[in-house]
Amino acid sequence: MRQMSKSAVRVAREAIAAGRAALPDYGSRWSRHDYTQPQLFALLVLRQFLKTDYRGVVALVAEWAELRRALRLRKVPHYSTLAHASRRILAGAEAGGLSPALKPPWSDTRASGA
C-alpha cells in the first residue's frame, strides 16, 4: 500500500530523493551552481503539492526554516528560477522521458546521423 502524506517537509524529502536518483546535480558544468536540479525539482513538486504559484512557493520556503533544511537550501531562489527550471526539467516528463537539456550528448540519435 502506498503511503500518503500531508506533510510538506516529508514530501520535500521524498521529492529531493527522487530528484537525486533521476537528475544530474547540474545541467551544465558552467552553471552558477546556486541550486542543484534535485533541489529545484523538489521545489516544483512542492509547488504542486501546496497548490500555489512560483511566487507562493518561494514565499513559503523563505518563511519555513525546516523546509529549507530538508532541501539543504542556503538561500531561497527567485521565482523566475523555478519558472525556468520547470521548462528545463519538466519539458520531457510530459513526453515520457528526459528533456533534451538533461540527456547526455551521446544519446542523441540525430547527432550520429541515424
* pLDDT given for residue 20 in this prediction: 94
12-56 pLDDT tens trace? 999 999 999 999 998 888 888 899 999 999 999 999 999 999 999
* Set of cell numbers at residue 73: 537550501
53-62, 81-90, 94-103: lowest mean pLDDT where?
A: 94-103
- The band of 57, judged by pLDDT with boundaries at 50, 70 and 90, is very high
Mean pLDDT (the chain, rounded) = 84
CA distances 96 to 29, 90, 91, 101, Å, are: 25, 10, 9, 14
- The band of 92, judged by pLDDT with boundaries at 50, 70 and 90, is low
Handedness of CA 96, 99, 100, 102 (dihedral sign): negative
- CB contact at 8 A, 23 and 37: yes
Provide the residue ranges of all domains of the chain, joining segments of one domain with +: 8-100
